[in-house]
Amino acid sequence: MISLEQEKQITAYLNLKRLSPQILDEVKDHFMMQVGSLMENENMSFQKAFLAAMICWQKELEMVKADFFSFRKIARIEKELLQRRFNKITLTALLVSLISAGIYVVADKVYDYFQIFALIAFASTVLFGIFSGKIKFTDYQRTSFHPLIIRNLILGMIIFPAECYFSGEYEFWKPVCNQLVIFYSVTIQIQLLYFRIKKINVLV
């Protein structure tokens, strides 16, 4: 049976790994079950069982770079979940961009309303988060330098010149591909702010 003092030691160790609250609770439960099992079944002292669990979890709790475009370090187990979350965010943004392209081709008048709707959704998310006290203005600012946005900027730097070259159109706003990249970026920012409001880790 793990005492309250021993539980505090485990919690203090896991807090050093800067896990998000959701991951921390889950890892802590598994960690304590493993330590308790070793103490009971293997007749180990708490310190030996604690050390054995630390070694067992060493790879998952190793501190690594959160993303290629980020300087932050997080636990490997957090990074794996974060990357899956980023993949879903990216796929959603791509889907919205493709839908906007379809609307542009089929009904360009409706496309104007789609743009307005996207801007309203973005502004509403920002204002709701700030006035509800769930995010700070600095959180919004950080989304502009988020790894997913940086990737988008690099993608845009490749697409913009190529699109202008092949289309012969050198005005920035007119090529629809440029607008799709902006739609992609805005959709990502909306999702990042939504997850931040919900207190889900997305590096914001």
Give me the chain's average pLDDT, please: 83
Reported as a single tens digit per residue, the pLDDT across 11-61 is 999 998 888 888 888 899 999 999 999 988 888 899 999 999 999 999 999
pTM of the model: 0.75
Backbone angles phi, psi at 20, to 5 degrees: -70, 155
Residues 6+ apart with CB under 8 A from 23: 75, 77, 78, 81, 201
**In the prediction, which pLDDT does 168 show?**
57
**In the prediction, which pLDDT does 201 show?**
80
Cα separations (Å) of 6 from 12, 31, 40, 104, 190? 10, 12, 15, 61, 42
Question: Could you report how far apart the first and last alpha carbons of the chain are, in Å?
Answer: 38
Domain residue spans of the chain: 4-61, 73-197
Question: Is residue 173 very low, low, confident or very high in pLDDT (cuts 50, 70, 90)?
Answer: low
**In the prediction, which pLDDT does 48 show?**
92
